[in-house]
Chain A
Amino acid sequence: MDRPRPTARWFGRTSRRLSLQYSVLYMGLVLLDFLFAYFLSLSEMREWAQEKMQEDAARLQTIYDQGADDLLGETVDALSRLDIDRTTIYALFDETGGPVIGPLAAIPDASSGTLVSATVLGLSLDPHEEVDAYWVQIDRIGPWTLVQATSDEVIHELLEALVAALLLGFFLLLGLGYFLGNRVGRLTEDRVAQISDVLGRAASGDLAARINPRDRAADDLGQIEGGIDDALAKIEALMAAQRQVTVDVAHDLRSPMQRLRQRLERLAPSPDFDDEKAAGLASIDQIEHTFNALLTIADLENSQAAFDKEVVPLTNILDDLRDLYEEAAEAAGLGFRVAISAPGLTVLGNRSLILQMLGNLVENSIKYCPPGAEIVVSAQTDGAQLVLEVRDTGPGMAEEFIPHACDRFSREDLSRHIHGNGLGLAIVHAIAKGHGATVSLRNLSQGLCVTISGLSQTA
């Protein structure tokens, strides 16, 4: 039997879920890593800007110390003009704080080494410029005050580069993680699917199914596969042994029964013993009937796939059922009716066994219903499945007996004054089970309803 690959929800596939989970985990880690890089770079940049501004201040201090007062002004002016983008600002103020050189109107109210916004510096910036803050360095050079400011534009660019790298990394990681994870996962998943397939086949009676792992010792899955194969081999051997026991018992009981029958049959006709002989033969028939019923149940339960199944028109089966039982029902004073919800219904199964299953139920109804009652056999669909029902208007069944009704040799009528071997419903149950269906019994306000549900309509 070929079991379809389990069609779990998209996310239900282990390989997909795991690879995505790992991708997200890695992405989180990469994000942390990038944040760390960002703050580290930020602090490095700040130190670098600060050092550069301090070096410039020291250089200008040297120029001033050499007495070149004009040269100081010229140098600052030149430096200030060099800066077109206003990434670095140089400004010189006199001792009264008045602006001498540079774009600033006043000495900013900030201390060296801090980051201040452009508005604090009194700068009106082009909105397209990616600058919003400056690191400030204020130094006294003689009577002058030198104000330097380095923009955070570099930081923005760094951030941009980092974000670009981060996004690229994200997508690469996601794609690669998904692809690789899925591939690796699929390898495992295929093996898991095979394990589940073999277990499914074993559950449906194919005990010869094996996984046959390439290398049992290779990994944990290999060990599980090997373990399952060993267990199945053991179960198969046990089942074979049990079957042999059944065969032996059958043979050992059937042969003496055969001899008993032939001895009775060969007794010479005699008016004194003819009745005894007939009764003896009838007893053997009864034993044989019980024996066959037990073996049929055991047979159906042991090897569900042993009988042929075909798609049979339901009308065919129900017509035969009517043919077999209508007369007997009428003779018992009972009404017998067959109802099909839709014409053209079919059932996948063994015609003779399904007929036997329904027949046993009808036979029970005939046995327990008082004259005047009615038996109705009906068939309807439930989605793709077929539901068969046998209901009667008889006395019903004791509620506490219903759960045990399908057990072997269980009889509601403990006095056993109604003829039967207590195997009829057990056979119904075994046949239903062999067809993948279930049997349920329920009392109606008047009568009993037995439902066989879960039969397939087509192959």
Chain B
Amino acid sequence: MRILLIEDDRETASYVVSGFQEEGHTIRHAQDGSEGFLAALDDDYDIMIVDRMIPKLDGLSLVKALRDAGTKTPVLFLSALTSIRDRVDGLQGGGDDYLSKPFAFAELSARAQALARRPALAIEETELRVSDLVVDVLSHKVTRAGREIRLQPREYRLLCYLMRNADRVVTRTMLLESVWDINFDPRTNVVETQISRLREKIDKPYDTPLIHTIRGSGYRIHG
């Protein structure tokens, strides 16, 4: 994954840069808005991680300018501004996701990977497949090794989200936002419970487990 990070805080930048490098990604760091703007036009990236408050050209204006210039690279905003309006401004201003500071690197990495490989203009897939687990998106039919599995609506949404992000880590917050559609932490173990119910149906009767817990980060489905 080729990443462009636009962040003025050196310490945060080095933390993000080394984190992604350790995961084997290529990352370029720009210190301010104008440097970031030129870097974004200069090369092709899979994702841009942009701080909202950076010198010279603020993050929001930078992304608007890039969108006007025709750049379609997904943008993840990093910000100390967390109000609903700031989020809405960020997402309406061309951002694809919004992460508040302070953030854990695992959360940033999971979100960046979910965004980066998201086929931005892809046609809606009609079938999701991980190993012998198949979801027919049109008929909502779930089968593993040819046997049909009956899921509750929430379990189905959870499975679809995991499968759309197959081989990538998804965090608890990402699941709450996407599967439960809420922007707060209910502080119950609702995610864990649903995951374990899903495992009961998807993994338990079979030899190879597909849903994996990534300690300290979240969950990942892979064959």
**76-103 of chain B: CB within 8 A of chain A:** 80-85, 88, 100-103
Q: Is B185 an interface residue (CB 8 A)?
A: yes
Shortest distance from the beta carbon of A281 to any chain B beta carbon, whole Å = 8
Do B102 and A284 touch across chains, with their CB atoms under 8 A apart?
Answer: yes
Chain A residues, CB < 8 A from B100? 254, 292
Chain B residues, CB < 8 A from A307? 84, 88
Do A259 and B82 touch across chains, with their CB atoms under 8 A apart?
Answer: no
Do A324 and B185 touch across chains, with their CB atoms under 8 A apart?
Answer: no
The interface size of chain A toward B, counting residues with CB under 8 Å, comes to: 38
Q: Is B136 an interface residue (CB 8 A)?
A: no
Do B105 and A257 touch across chains, with their CB atoms under 8 A apart?
Answer: no
Q: Is A82 an interface residue (CB 8 A)?
A: no
Do A299 and B85 touch across chains, with their CB atoms under 8 A apart?
Answer: yes
Do B104 and A261 touch across chains, with their CB atoms under 8 A apart?
Answer: yes
Q: How far is the CA of A328 from the CA of B101 in the complex (A)?
A: 29
Q: Is A247 an interface residue (CB 8 A)?
A: yes
Chain A residues, CB < 8 A from B103? 258, 261
8 closest pairs, A vs B, by CB?
Answer: A254-B80, A262-B15, A328-B188, A258-B102, A299-B83, A251-B80, A306-B85, A257-B102
Q: How far is the CA of A325 from the CA of B186 in the complex (A)?
A: 8
Q: How far is the CA of A339 from the CA of B141 in the complex (A)?
A: 32
Do B102 and A288 touch across chains, with their CB atoms under 8 A apart?
Answer: yes
Do A324 and B82 touch across chains, with their CB atoms under 8 A apart?
Answer: no
Chain B residues, CB < 8 A from A288? 102
Q: Is A438 an interface residue (CB 8 A)?
A: no
Do B105 and A265 touch across chains, with their CB atoms under 8 A apart?
Answer: yes
Do B81 and A327 touch across chains, with their CB atoms under 8 A apart?
Answer: no
Extra contacts, 18 of them, besides A257-B102, A258-B9, A266-B15 (Cβ < 8 A), are A250-B80, A254-B102, A255-B9, A265-B104, A284-B102, A299-B84, A306-B85, A306-B88, A323-B180, A324-B182, A324-B186, A324-B190, A328-B189, A328-B190, A352-B181, A356-B182, A356-B184, A363-B186
Q: How far is the CA of A323 from the CA of B184 in the complex (A)?
A: 15
Q: Is A59 an interface residue (CB 8 A)?
A: no
Q: Is A193 an interface residue (CB 8 A)?
A: no
The interface size of chain B toward A, counting residues with CB under 8 Å, comes to: 32
**36-85 of chain A: CB within 8 A of chain B:** none
Do B84 and A327 touch across chains, with their CB atoms under 8 A apart?
Answer: no
Q: What are 9 residue pairs bridging A and B, where the CB atoms are less than 8 Å apart in the complex?
A: A247-B80, A250-B80, A255-B12, A262-B11, A284-B102, A292-B82, A306-B84, A328-B189, A351-B181
Q: Is B193 an interface residue (CB 8 A)?
A: yes
Shortest distance from the beta carbon of A337 to any chain B beta carbon, whole Å = 17
Do A352 and B184 touch across chains, with their CB atoms under 8 A apart?
Answer: yes
Do A327 and B102 touch across chains, with their CB atoms under 8 A apart?
Answer: no
Do A255 and B190 touch across chains, with their CB atoms under 8 A apart?
Answer: no
Q: Is B147 an interface residue (CB 8 A)?
A: no
Chain B residues, CB < 8 A from A363? 186-188
Q: How far is the CA of A254 from the CA of B84 in the complex (A)?
A: 17
Do A324 and B188 touch across chains, with their CB atoms under 8 A apart?
Answer: yes
**1-60 of chain B: CB within 8 A of chain A:** 9, 11-12, 15, 18, 53
Which chain A residue shows the least CB distance to B15? A262
Shortest distance from the beta carbon of A329 to any chain B beta carbon, whole Å = 9
Do B101 and A323 touch across chains, with their CB atoms under 8 A apart?
Answer: no
Given contacts A250-B82, A255-B12, A352-B182, contact A323 B190 (CB under 8 A): yes
CB-defined interface of A283-324 with B at 8 Å, one 1/0 digit per residue? 010001100100100111001001110000000000010011
Shortest distance from the beta carbon of A24 to any chain B beta carbon, whole Å = 55
Q: Is B183 an interface residue (CB 8 A)?
A: yes
Which chain A residue shows the least CB distance to B184? A356
Do A359 and B186 touch across chains, with their CB atoms under 8 A apart?
Answer: yes
Q: Is A355 an interface residue (CB 8 A)?
A: yes
Q: Total A-B residue pairs with C-beta atoms closer than 8 Å?
A: 98
Shortest distance from the beta carbon of A13 to any chain B beta carbon, whole Å = 40
Q: Is B154 an interface residue (CB 8 A)?
A: yes
Residues on B facing A (Cβ under 8 Å): 9, 11-12, 15, 18, 53, 80-85, 88, 100-105, 154, 180-190, 193
Q: How far is the CA of A119 from the CA of B201 in the complex (A)?
A: 120
Chain A residues, CB < 8 A from B101? 254-255, 257-258
Looking at chain A's contact residues, the main secondary structure is helix
Chain B residues, CB < 8 A from A327? 188-190, 193
Chain B residues, CB < 8 A from A247? 80-81
Chain A CB within 10 A, most for which of B84, B102, B105, B188: B102
Shortest distance from the beta carbon of A56 to any chain B beta carbon, whole Å = 101
Which chain A residue shows the least CB distance to B190? A324
Shortest distance from the beta carbon of B11 to any chain A beta carbon, whole Å = 5
Q: How far is the CA of A308 from the CA of B88 in the complex (A)?
A: 10
Given contacts A255-B9, A262-B15, A266-B15, contact A295 B82 (CB under 8 A): yes
Q: How far is the CA of A356 from the CA of B101 in the complex (A)?
A: 21
Shortest distance from the beta carbon of A95 to any chain B beta carbon, whole Å = 116
Q: How far is the CA of A258 from the CA of B85 in the complex (A)?
A: 22
Do B12 and A258 touch across chains, with their CB atoms under 8 A apart?
Answer: yes
Shortest distance from the beta carbon of A230 to any chain B beta carbon, whole Å = 26
Shortest distance from the beta carbon of A113 to any chain B beta carbon, whole Å = 94
Do B80 and A303 touch across chains, with their CB atoms under 8 A apart?
Answer: no
Q: How far is the CA of A257 from the CA of B83 in the complex (A)?
A: 18
Q: How far is the CA of A45 from the CA of B48 in the complex (A)?
A: 106
Which chain A residue shows the least CB distance to B192? A327
Chain A residues, CB < 8 A from B181? 320, 351-352
Given contacts A265-B105, A359-B186, contact A320 B85 (CB under 8 A): no
Chain B residues, CB < 8 A from A351? 181
Q: How far is the CA of A327 from the CA of B188 in the complex (A)?
A: 8
Chain A residues, CB < 8 A from B102? 254, 257-258, 260-261, 284, 288
Which chain B residue shows the least CB distance to A262? B15
Shortest distance from the beta carbon of B96 to any chain A beta carbon, whole Å = 18
Chain A residues, CB < 8 A from B188? 324-325, 327-328, 363
Chain B residues, CB < 8 A from A356? 182-184
Which chain A residue shows the least CB distance to B191? A324
Q: How far is the CA of A284 from the CA of B148 in the complex (A)?
A: 44
Given contacts A255-B101, A258-B101, contact A289 B185 (CB under 8 A): yes
Chain A residues, CB < 8 A from B85? 299, 303, 306
Given contacts A320-B180, A327-B188, contact A306 B83 (CB under 8 A): yes
